[in-house]
Amino acid sequence: MADPMKVEVVSPEQVLYSGEATMVITRTLGGGEIAFQPGHAAFLGALTECHTRVFLADGTSEDIAVHGGFVEVSSNKVSILSDAAELGSQIDIERARAAKERAEGVLRHEHDAEAISALGRAHARLNAAGVGV
């Protein structure tokens, strides 16, 4: 197996993850899910609200709700620079469910860009917390 790659996931408030990984899966804006493994070609993309998974060499993974930002891959390093992000283990599931229900309620009556964004954030949080939607 190839040597692991360096991974950093940062938000304006904190570094959420910094370490080595064997794979990172995230979602780009308009491009769908993308996986990065050691030796991946250089890449730069905008991110949407998503459940990002960082797979560690010991077989575990770090689940992170990413709310926009960018992903850059170069020199065997994946950098995720997020507008906001949360570790799955630290997400308040009931709060995320309530946000999802509020956004769905608004969208039943009107097309609202903020409600669409809130629904995307809620989905990312629930998926990262391991409860799905």
User: Based on the domain organization, do 15 and 76 belong to the same domain?
Assistant: yes
User: Based on the domain organization, do 118 and 62 belong to the same domain?
Assistant: no
Any domain includes 133? no
Average confidence (pLDDT) over 22-34: 92
User: Based on the domain organization, do 83 and 95 belong to the same domain?
Assistant: no
Task: With CA atoms as reference, report the closest residue to 67 among 84, 86, 53.
Answer: 84
> Residue 8 — pLDDT band, cuts 50, 70, 90?
very high
Amino acid in position 102: R
Q: How far apart are CA 63 and CA 86, in angstroms?
A: 9
Domain that holds residue 106: 91-128
User: Based on the domain organization, do 20 and 80 belong to the same domain?
Assistant: yes
Q: Is residue 115 scored above 60 in pLDDT?
A: yes
Q: What is the pLDDT of residue 132?
A: 67
Any domain includes 62? yes
User: Based on the domain organization, do 22 and 66 belong to the same domain?
Assistant: yes
Q: What is the pLDDT of residue 102?
A: 87
Percentage of residues of the chain with pLDDT beyond 70: 97
User: Based on the domain organization, do 10 and 71 belong to the same domain?
Assistant: yes
Q: pTM for this structure?
A: 0.83
